């Protein structure tokens, strides 16, 4: 499966490991990561926030590994009408790359699917049976 990983997954993976770390590991080793330049820029900007100073190196290592294995695409020119317009890039990248989206942001990603893009929570991605 091709997957786009929301930034909140990387933050949680770096800060606490757990399910989000498993999502990243499973995605890297068993799936194809899809990224866009805009997503990488957001990953790096978030890693530089003072709130993440203690986890910056872990986050930057995760970003570097994702970049190393990812297929890069130009995001689709589509707007999905999300509550937070900054989240649109994840769906647009997933759509362009024929990918699913893994996100812990259920507040902004309220639907199980946006057009062709299936949305997984971290737990549902780990527990899926396909």
- Please report, rounded to a whole number, the percentage of residues in the chain having pLDDT higher than 90: 90
User: Where along the chain do its domains lie?
Assistant: 2-127
The CATH T-level fold of domain 2-127 is: Rossmann fold (3.40.50)
- Predicted structure pTM score: 0.94
Which residue from 89, 88, 84, 96 is spatially nearest to 40, judged by alpha carbons?
A: 89
Tell me the pLDDT band of 128, cut-offs 50, 70 and 90: confident
**Cα separation, 11 vs 58, whole angstroms:** 9
**Parallel, antiparallel, or unpaired: how do β-strands 113-114 and 117-120 relate?**
antiparallel
- pLDDT above 80 for 129: no
């Amino acid at each position: 499966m091709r997957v786009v990983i929301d930034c909140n997954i990387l933050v949680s993976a770096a800060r606490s490991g757990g399910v989000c770390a498993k999502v990243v590991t499973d995605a890297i080793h068993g799936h194809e990561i899809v990224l866009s330049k805009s997503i990488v820029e957001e990953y790096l900007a978030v890693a530089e926030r003072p709130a993440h100073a203690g986890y910056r190196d872990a986050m930057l290592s995760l970003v570097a590994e994702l970049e190393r294995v990812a297929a890069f695409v130009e995001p689709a020119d589509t707007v999905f009408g999300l509550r937070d317009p900054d989240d649109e890039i994840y769906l647009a990248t997933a759509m362009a790359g024929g990918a699913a989206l893994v996100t812990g942001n259920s507040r902004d990603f309220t639907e199980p699917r946006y057009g062709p893009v299936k949305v997984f929570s971290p737990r549902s991605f780990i527990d899926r049976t396909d």
